[in-house]
A = this chain, B = another copy of it.
Amino acid sequence: MSSPKLEETIERKSDETGDKVTPWDVNAESDTGIDYDKLIRRFGSSKISPELITRIESIIKKPVHHFIRRGIFFSHRDLESILTVYEQQKPFFLYTGRGPSSEAMHLGHLIPFIMTKWLQDAFDVPLVIQMTDDEKFLWKDITIDDANKYAYENAKDIIACGFDPTKTFIFSDFDFMAQCPNFYRNICRIQKSVTFNQVKGIFGFTESDCIGKIAFPAIQAAPSVSSSFPFIFGEKLKQELPCLIPCAIDQDPYFRMTRDVAPRLNFPKPSLIHSTFFPALQGSKSKMSASDPNSSIFLTDSPKDIKTKINKHAFSGGKDSIEEHRAKGGDCDIDVSFQYLTFFMDDDQRLEEIRQDYSSGKLLTGELKKILIEVLQTLVAQHQERRKQVTSDVVRQFMTPRQLNFRY
Q: Do A144 and B207 touch (CB < 8 A)?
A: no
The answer to whether A97 has its CB under 8 Å from any CB of chain B is: no
Q: Do B207 and A134 touch (CB < 8 A)?
A: no
Q: Roughly how many angstroms separate A169 CA and B207 CA in the complex, as a whole number?
A: 36
The answer to whether A90 has its CB under 8 Å from any CB of chain B is: no
Q: Do A208 and B215 touch (CB < 8 A)?
A: no
Assuming the contacts A211-B215, A214-B214, asked whether A184 and B194 have C-beta atoms less than 8 A apart, the reply is: no
Q: Do B188 and A137 touch (CB < 8 A)?
A: yes
Q: Do B207 and A197 touch (CB < 8 A)?
A: yes
Output the nearest chain B residue to A175 by Cβ-Cβ distance: B181
Q: Do B211 and A214 touch (CB < 8 A)?
A: yes
Q: Do B212 and A218 touch (CB < 8 A)?
A: yes
In the complex, how many angstroms separate the beta carbon of A231 from the nearest chain B beta carbon?
A: 12
Contact with B along A172-184 (1 / 0, CB 8 A): 0011011111011
Q: Which of B185, B200, B207, B212 contacts A200 (CB 8 A)?
A: B207
Q: Which of B179, B196, B217 contacts A208 (CB 8 A)?
A: B196
Q: Do B196 and A207 touch (CB < 8 A)?
A: yes
- With a cutoff of 8 Å between Cβ atoms, the chain B residues found around residue A212 in the complex are 188, 191-192, 215, 218
Q: How many of chain A's residues touch chain B, expressed as a range?
A: 35 or more
- With a cutoff of 8 Å between Cβ atoms, the chain B residues found around residue A205 in the complex are 196
- With a cutoff of 8 Å between Cβ atoms, the chain B residues found around residue A218 in the complex are 211-212
Q: Do B184 and A209 touch (CB < 8 A)?
A: no
- With a cutoff of 8 Å between Cβ atoms, the chain B residues found around residue A174 in the complex are 181, 184-185, 188
Q: Do A178 and B181 touch (CB < 8 A)?
A: yes
Q: Roughly how many angstroms separate A395 CA and B165 CA in the complex, as a whole number?
A: 39
Output the nearest chain B residue to A196 by Cβ-Cβ distance: B207
Output the nearest chain B residue to A200 by Cβ-Cβ distance: B207
Q: Which of B3, B191, B195, B215 contacts A191 (CB 8 A)?
A: B215
- With a cutoff of 8 Å between Cβ atoms, the chain B residues found around residue A185 in the complex are 144, 174
In the complex, which residues 217-241 of chain A have their Cβ closer than 8 Å to any Cβ of chain B? 217-218
Q: Roughly how many angstroms separate A210 CA and B196 CA in the complex, as a whole number?
A: 6
- With a cutoff of 8 Å between Cβ atoms, the chain B residues found around residue A214 in the complex are 196, 211, 214-215
Q: Roughly how many angstroms separate A196 CA and B215 CA in the complex, as a whole number?
A: 10
The answer to whether A193 has its CB under 8 Å from any CB of chain B is: yes
Q: Roughly how many angstroms separate A182 CA and B207 CA in the complex, as a whole number?
A: 28
The answer to whether A55 has its CB under 8 Å from any CB of chain B is: no
- With a cutoff of 8 Å between Cβ atoms, the chain B residues found around residue A196 in the complex are 196, 205-211, 214
Knowing that A178-B183, A195-B207, A196-B211 touch, tell me 4 more A-B residue pairs with CB under 8 angstroms.
A144-B188, A177-B178, A177-B181, A193-B210
A-B contact pairs, 29 of them (CB 8 A): A1-B210, A137-B188, A174-B184, A174-B185, A177-B178, A178-B178, A178-B180, A178-B181, A184-B184, A188-B212, A191-B210, A191-B211, A195-B207, A195-B208, A195-B209, A195-B211, A196-B196, A196-B206, A196-B207, A196-B210, A196-B211, A196-B214, A211-B214, A211-B215, A211-B217, A212-B215, A212-B218, A214-B214, A214-B215
The 7 closest A-B pairs by CB, nearest first: A191-B212, A215-B215, A178-B181, A177-B184, A197-B207, A211-B215, A196-B207
